Amino acid sequence: MNLDQTDIKLLRLVQENGTLSNKDLALKVNKSITSVYDRLRRLKENGYITRVVAILDRQKVGLGLVSFSQVFLLDHRTGSIKKFEESVAAFDEVMECFQMSGSYDFLLRVVTSDMEEYHKFLRNKLSTLANVDKVQTFFVLSEAKSETVYPVL
């Protein structure tokens, strides 16, 4: 699918505010409501828009501690890696899971209410997975930037 300037503008607009109506979007891109509706449907069908969500203030919902955990695995066979990915994807505390190149195998972004809850997560969930060899965790002290909008060119 080739994106034109209107598609790109729509992607930028819905990233910044997913609650804009088709009417509001149509006014901003100078197109008809029907045209905007059709374009958004096409962008969704082609996987450019995967979902529309509300971004919560994690502090206000009681998730004050953010950490990044480097996970080292014992077994690197495809089946073992897939099982690890499936297991961590089921943990509510894990917000993101990336398989990495370099000295460790996975990087997890984990959110919990506090250090005690992180300790419970580590002891009762993450470290109980059969393939986990070692976990090294870094705790976020401050957050200078947290962005959800991709720079669409």
Q: Supply the CATH number for residue 113's domain.
A: 3.30.70.920
Structure-block tokens of residue 101: 């190149």
Same domain as 69, residue 40: no
Q: CA geometry: angle at 134 spanning 130 and 136, to 5°? A: 135
Total domains in the chain come to: 2
pLDDT score for 85: 98
pLDDT score for 145: 95
Along the 153 residues of the chain, how does pLDDT read in single tens digits?
A: 899 999 999 999 999 999 999 999 999 999 999 999 999 999 999 999 999 999 999 999 999 999 999 999 999 999 999 999 999 999 999 999 999 999 999 999 999 999 999 999 999 999 999 999 999 999 999 999 999 999 987
Same domain as 76, residue 120: yes
- Is 15 contained in some domain? yes
Closest CA to 110 of 125, 132, 128: 125
Closest CA to 10 of 24, 50, 53, 146: 24
- Is 72 contained in some domain? yes
pLDDT score for 109: 98
Same domain as 36, residue 75: no
Same domain as 77, residue 22: no
Contact 107, 98 (CB under 8 A): yes
Sheet with 65-73, edge to edge strand ranges? 94-99, 106-112, 65-73, 132-139
Residue 17's domain comprises: 5-45
Same domain as 71, residue 34: no
Contact 1, 41 (CB under 8 A): no
- Is 151 contained in some domain? no
Q: What is the pTM of this model?
A: 0.89
CA distance 138 to 68: 5
pLDDT score for 73: 98
pLDDT score for 153: 79
Same domain as 131, residue 86: yes
- Is 75 contained in some domain? yes
- Is 123 contained in some domain? yes
pLDDT score for 1: 82
